[in-house]
Structure 1
Amino acid sequence: MCGPFALLVLLIAQAAGYKSGAPPSMCKDMMPHHHGSPPQSGPAPFAVAAEPSGNEDEGRLRVTLSGSAPFAGVLLQAREGGVEGEAVGSFAALPDNFKTLDCNNFKGSAVTHADNSPKDKLSLVWEAPDGYNNEITFVAAVVANFSTFWTRVPSRTIKVTKRSTGTAGTGPAISKRLYDGCGVRKNCLGSPVGCEKKRDCIALIAVSRNGQDYEFEMMALNSKYVAVGLSADNKMGGDSVLECAYENHREGFEGVNAYRSWNIPNQKGNSRQDVQTGFTLREGLYNDGHTYCRVLLNSLTKAGEVTFDLNQTPYYLLLAAGTKTSEGMIHFHDVARESSLDSRLLSDLTPVMIHDNIYDGCNVDKSCFGYPSGCVADESCQAIATILVQGTTYNFKLKSNQGAYIALGLSADEKMGGDSVMECVQERNAIKLYSSWNKPGEKANTREKVNQSILKLINSSYTDGVIYCEFTRDASSQIMSTSFDLIKNQYFLLLAAGSSLKEKSVGYHDIFFVASGQKRSLSEVAALTSQSKLFVRLHGSFMVAAWIGTASIGIVLARYFKETWVESSLCAKDLWFAWHRFFMLITWCLTLVAAVLIFIDVGGWVSSTPSMIHAIFGCCTVVFCFVQPIGAAFRPHPAARNRPFFNWIHWFIGNAAHICSVLALFFATPVAKAELPAWLDWILFAYVVLYVVVHLLLTISGCISDSKGSDRVNTFPLKDLNTSRSALNSVERKMDASFGGFRKLMLFIHIVGVTAVTAAVIVIICLAPIEAQFSSLQKKIMSS
């Protein structure tokens, strides 16, 4: 009896000890040590998320622990250097039933429960130490009951920066001038990412050309050194380093000195050059704990056994800053560490891009699908979705540089309808995660009656308009009587983003919509390409060629050139009529083929407002275009009584088709699937101006010609003075109407103008999105 009783007492004592929170002994291993009960091995039904609370440089994060089930106990820390690191920082704004622990000599660096009552959620604030700049991961041990608990549940890794008290947003006054000219006459790389635009970097290097050499300006806040490395890759090792370090180690000297050093390959160690040549320190300052220097570096230098030619060889830039130096060396870069995204010549002044770790492991460890097509390879996506499968855990990450939401759909085909959708939605500067359903046949989205528990948010952020979320999804789920088994089935991916939200769903994907070109199992790691948009491109190109190109020329010929080239004929027909019929026949064929292509691609009618308006004008164009030659085939004889009526109908249908076509082109710009830039409207507007001006000038010349009375110029198509299609035989018509030379000149200008506009618009359509394609091409040229 004593044995069981003793065990019961031990268990009661153990439970009582943890009833009021975890002890300090758990700080390191975060293990509850419930005797006989190991931690759960499967995915935890809880998630730790963090997002900035206040300004980015205040070093405060709002941390949330939530899950699909209540929990009784918790131990939460922020760890530096990953899950195995040490606790750092301190927690504040705790709920009443939680308290802090002191771990790793940081006061309040961990949070635990104050009682064992069931809890649904924990929300509190974590603050970094003064002058902190590093990456952290929040780690939690969560207890559901005595025998069921999970340990080391991680958040995503987060870069945190906090300025020292009294220096936030400031720094040496001289540092402010470093930002001037970044991306224009200087190469600039700063920390944290994107700080150059805000002019609030904690460390910055700016490189500019100075004759045959290069001038490096560097500054770092709350640091005793700042350094830049020139690297063949974006990792430390085998790099030429230029250091600016504050020194007070030598007797009689206190200030900033410059040195050249060498990052030893494969060792991540640094050694200063024995001979300090090849550079000149122009200026060095140390003020209020901040370091600044300006150094002129020779374009041809040697470090280790490697020669560095700054004029001929592209390099990655490595930026580092730290709080500690000693005689002959600098120490760990605990203030800043960044590397440029690409290698380039220092004379290339385009802004230096920073690596985004969402691309890490793409198409090697995880599948990545981005917009626009091909953006994953050069890490230039406007939006990206990644899928990492580990056993039965499906981890998704979504990121978009703009919009109110980004959504990823799983579809049995490559079209919208009958799809399971996962939405990351920005609501009041916070990210919400929803599961929704694309209704079959309606192209509408709803969250009603959709099980939201199949998704679990792990982390999210909304910074400078960038939406980011990370979540897991159940491997098997049921949505609207449709089963989605991610293990057994294959799916197309639908990626979309939009700028508006509805009450119970997202709004129209007016920023972009793209479908994968392959149907695959989500566990298959491979490059995903976008669905072919060949039919869309051909549709747009054919319509532009038809209505900006051939129709514009054919209409002008019929309206103003009936008494030009009167001594010439083609196939026994007046020259103007032969060419008018030729151009309009091409217009008719291109229009009908374009209409068939887009109906095949879309598969039905569209529902969104921009697409619908474009489709309405497009359908009107097709209908008018189709009936026009049929009516012309039954035109009455020129002497018939109803010939004027035919002329009016023919004129009206032709011009209505042309007007509808131009309006359809203008309304194609906001259609997300077309991926056309907004400035395309200005090119179309230039075409309209050209078209109107040509008509106006030719009309004026016709009126002047008529007023002379010397010739009878058929200025308006409704005049039918002589409508014979045979070669002209009458004596009075063997001479061109007056101003024939002017008309020919205007026709030449018109043809050249519409041809140029047509070619430009077709190129924009075929290469859409043109801006992304141009940027990618520019990078390839610069890298080569």
Structure 2
Amino acid sequence: MKTEMSRTLLLIAIGLLAKVLGLPHGAPPETCLDLTPRHPDTFLQSSNPPYQVLPAAGQGRVRLILGSPQGLSYQGFLILARDIDTGEYVGEFTNLPDNAKIVECTEGVKNGVTHTSKERKQNLEFDWEVPVDYEGIIIFNSTFAQDYSTYWVGVESPRVIVNKRSGINVSASPLPVTNFRTTTPPYYTRTDNYATKDVEDPFYTGCHTTKNCFGSPAGCIKTKDCTAVVAVTVQGDQYYFELQTRGEAKYVAVGLSDDKNMGDDSVVECTNENGEIALHMSWNTGKRNTRHATSEGAVNLETGTIKDDVIYCKFRRDKLTVVQGRTYDLVKTPYHLLVVAGKDLKRNGVDFHDVAYLGTSTSKRLSDVGEWTAASDLLIRLHGALMLASWIGTASIGMLLARYYRQTWVNSQLCGKDHWFAWHRFFMLLTWSMTIAAFVIIFVELGTWSSETIHASVGLATTILCFIQPFMAAMRPHPGAPRRTLFNWAHWFVGNVAKICALIALFFAVRLNKAKLPDWVDWILTAYVVFHVLTHLILTFLGCASDRQASQRVNSFPMKDMHSRGSMVHPDARRDAPHSSMRKFIFGVYFVVIVVFAAVLIVITVLAPIEETWTTFTNTISNY
């Protein structure tokens, strides 16, 4: 009987001891050596940890978030910071929440943090302060205990690079996870010539898992090479925005919008003003941006840097602000995001967003973390395709026929009209229809008139000139009438000016970030212009040769009937002018080449950005 009672008491004592060794009030300092919980009858997990440590660079400090991408909670944890080369403890932890406390791995130094109770925790946040005059690479190493018997040791953060000159930078990914670790210092492999190795941009750490990210061009978050990008992190009731742009940009901005288009938006800008980052608020009225005074506490700049042509800033925006009489509630109201960047600043504002512009396809609350897709640019692609088909394709062919082929194919007619006239009218009506359709489409896309760019202004002029041409043609005087000469010159002048304006607009379209066209498209357009001009020169000289050879002055030279004559009929009126076979051959070549030019440019426009589309296609073929 005594023996049975002794065994029972022993089991109870062991159970109590196990509970005590479970350390519900946090890890003791000696745990810093190997980060292993002193839990009997428990097992180190061999699977990849469902938890992560996410550092965010601040001014002389690093903000840490201990959480799970899957939203799992945890009961206990221990975290400390070590130099990646020496393995020594570095820095101190501050601004701890109520359910965390300091662990002095070194007596008198706050170089570790652990839990204070075994209640469930999610996304704990606190700060780590950089030691004075410290320079090097550190890593945060931690243990997460999901419950009493389930834990992961050695969960590592991305590397944090501390440089006296450039401040704090966070690498994009942690070191590889190794299971069944027994001591902490060996976790940190020495990094030789670290500065020479490619380091991924730390801006993208946590995108779609702990923070919302959206950038231009579309899909750049996955490739981590955005021209302009915004990230939103919600920490309690605090909303933090990060903005970054690269290249020649002088500013990067984010807008909160009710739709994917610019207009009636609250904008915050980070600008490069003489090498210093400045933060401003502005308002979009239609396509116009107007800077306004920032009310106290509405936005606060946390940090900003300009380095290697990269502008970066982080600011906090109040969850409730009133702008232009409108209340912006970041907690309850879903918004579209607009991210823009530009090369120039105005005296009291920003200039046109000629580096990047993109809006999200849908609106959502900023606290709902997940992937944010770009708004469709289908209408922009369709607009470009129609304009290319019009002014590279049909207009080129129609104008060539009217200028050089009036005395060709004269032995037959089409629908009671000379071939040149019937086909000229057909191609020019196609040009008119596609141009008007393209104008309506881009107007629907933008929702307003636009003259912000040379492309928009010259394109508008092209559309107006094109619109009036058929009405001018419908009112043309009869041949031989006194005003026929005036009509001839006016019709010729308006048509050619429209053509020139269209070509100028196409060249400037290549420079629009919305078009997503590569710079080498300029060479295709230049090749088209050279071919078009050479063809006109050849046909002009051929017309002169035809005049010299003909026994009568037939209408072979293109400008012959620009002047009114009493009679347009002569003995050779129903005969092709000399060299008609050569003209027909040239037209055949011209027609085929123009179709190829138009088709290539349309494909590049519709599939833009063509480089990414081609890469995807080739990868698919190779995998197949």
- Cα deviation 1:358-408 (Å, max 9, x = unaligned): 333333333221111122234342232222223322222222222122111
Which of 694, 705, 719 is residue 561 of structure 2 equivalent to? 719
The question of whether the paired residues in 1 share the 8 Å contact of 2:228 and 2:356 is answered with: no
What residue is the counterpart of 2:90 in the other structure?
Answer: 88
Partner SS, residue 395 of structure 1: strand
Give the distance between the partners of 1:598 and 1:126, measured in 2 at CA.
57
1:502 partnered with 2:346: yes
Partner SS, residue 382 of structure 2: helix
What residue is the counterpart of 2:11 in the other structure?
Answer: none
Give the distance between the partners of 1:765 and 1:269, measured in 2 at CA.
58
Q: Cα distance 1:397–1:331, how it changes in 2: closer, same or farther (>3 A)?
A: closer
Structure 1 or 2: more helix by fraction: 2
What residue is the counterpart of 1:636 in the other structure?
Answer: 477
Partner SS, residue 58 of structure 2: strand
- Cα deviation 1:468-493 (Å, max 9, x = unaligned): 23333221122232211101111110
- 1:126 CA displacement: 4.6
What residue is the counterpart of 1:518 in the other structure?
Answer: 362
Which of 564, 568, 586 is residue 408 of structure 2 equivalent to? 564
Aligned AA (1:637): H
1:445 partnered with 2:290: yes
1:365 partnered with 2:206: no
- 1:665 CA displacement: 1.7
What residue is the counterpart of 1:467 in the other structure?
Answer: 311
1:589 partnered with 2:433: yes
The question of whether the paired residues in 2 share the 8 Å contact of 1:515 and 1:531 is answered with: yes
1:236 partnered with 2:167: no
Aligned AA (1:371): S
What residue is the counterpart of 1:188 in the other structure?
Answer: none
Partner SS, residue 376 of structure 1: helix
What residue is the counterpart of 2:72 in the other structure?
Answer: none
Q: Cα distance 1:268–1:584, how it changes in 2: closer, same or farther (>3 A)?
A: farther
Give the distance between the partners of 2:448 and 2:257, measured in 1 at CA.
18
Give the distance between the partners of 1:269 and 1:666, measured in 2 at CA.
64
Which of 128, 132, 137 is residue 134 of structure 2 equivalent to? 128
What residue is the counterpart of 1:286 in the other structure?
Answer: none
- 1:48 CA displacement: 7.8
Name which of structure 1's ranges 450-459 and 749-758 shifts more when overlaid on structure 2. Answer: 450-459
Give the distance between the partners of 2:61 and 2:182, measured in 1 at CA.
39
- 1:565 CA displacement: 1.8
Q: How does 1:600-639 map to 2 (within 5 A)?
A: 600-606=444-450, 608=452, 611=453, 613-639=454-480
- Cα deviation 1:178-198 (Å, max 9, x = unaligned): xxxxxxxxxxxxx9989xxxx
- 1:685 CA displacement: 2.0
Q: Cα distance 1:679–1:268, how it changes in 2: closer, same or farther (>3 A)?
A: farther
1:690 partnered with 2:531: yes
The question of whether the paired residues in 1 share the 8 Å contact of 2:286 and 2:448 is answered with: no
Which of 590, 605, 609 is residue 750 of structure 1 equivalent to? 590
**Equivalenced residues, count:** 500
- 1:451 CA displacement: 2.1
- 1:535 CA displacement: 1.9
- 1:773 CA displacement: 4.5
Give the distance between the partners of 1:522 and 1:441, measured in 2 at CA.
24
Partner SS, residue 346 of structure 2: coil
Structure 1 or 2: more strand by fraction: 1
Give the distance between the partners of 1:553 and 1:592, measured in 2 at CA.
19
The question of whether the paired residues in 2 share the 8 Å contact of 1:49 and 1:460 is answered with: no
Partner SS, residue 754 of structure 1: helix
Q: How does 1:72-111 map to 2 (within 5 A)?
A: 80=82, 88=90
Taking structure 2 as the reference length, what is the TM-score of the superposition? 0.70
- 1:157 CA displacement: 7.0
Give the distance between the partners of 1:368 and 1:399, measured in 2 at CA.
11
- 1:720 CA displacement: 6.6
Give the distance between the partners of 2:300 and 2:316, measured in 1 at CA.
5
Partner SS, residue 373 of structure 1: coil
- 1:551 CA displacement: 0.4
What residue is the counterpart of 1:412 in the other structure?
Answer: 258
- Cα deviation 1:656-681 (Å, max 9, x = unaligned): 22122112222323334333333333
Which of 486, 490, 493 is residue 652 of structure 1 equivalent to? 493
Give the distance between the partners of 2:435 and 2:599, measured in 1 at CA.
17
Q: How does 1:705-744 map to 2 (within 5 A)?
A: 705-710=546-551, 712-719=554-561, 732-744=572-584
Partner SS, residue 453 of structure 1: coil
The question of whether the paired residues in 2 share the 8 Å contact of 1:236 and 1:268 is answered with: no
Q: Cα distance 1:480–1:635, how it changes in 2: closer, same or farther (>3 A)?
A: closer
Greater relative contact order, per chain length (Cα 8 Å cut-off, separation 6+) = 2
Q: Cα distance 1:64–1:367, how it changes in 2: closer, same or farther (>3 A)?
A: closer
Give the distance between the partners of 1:723 and 1:564, measured in 2 at CA.
21
What residue is the counterpart of 1:481 in the other structure?
Answer: 325
Q: Cα distance 1:523–1:781, how it changes in 2: closer, same or farther (>3 A)?
A: farther
The question of whether the paired residues in 1 share the 8 Å contact of 2:81 and 2:138 is answered with: no
What residue is the counterpart of 1:456 in the other structure?
Answer: 300
Aligned AA (1:335): T
Q: How does 1:130-145 map to 2 (within 5 A)?
A: 132-135=136-139
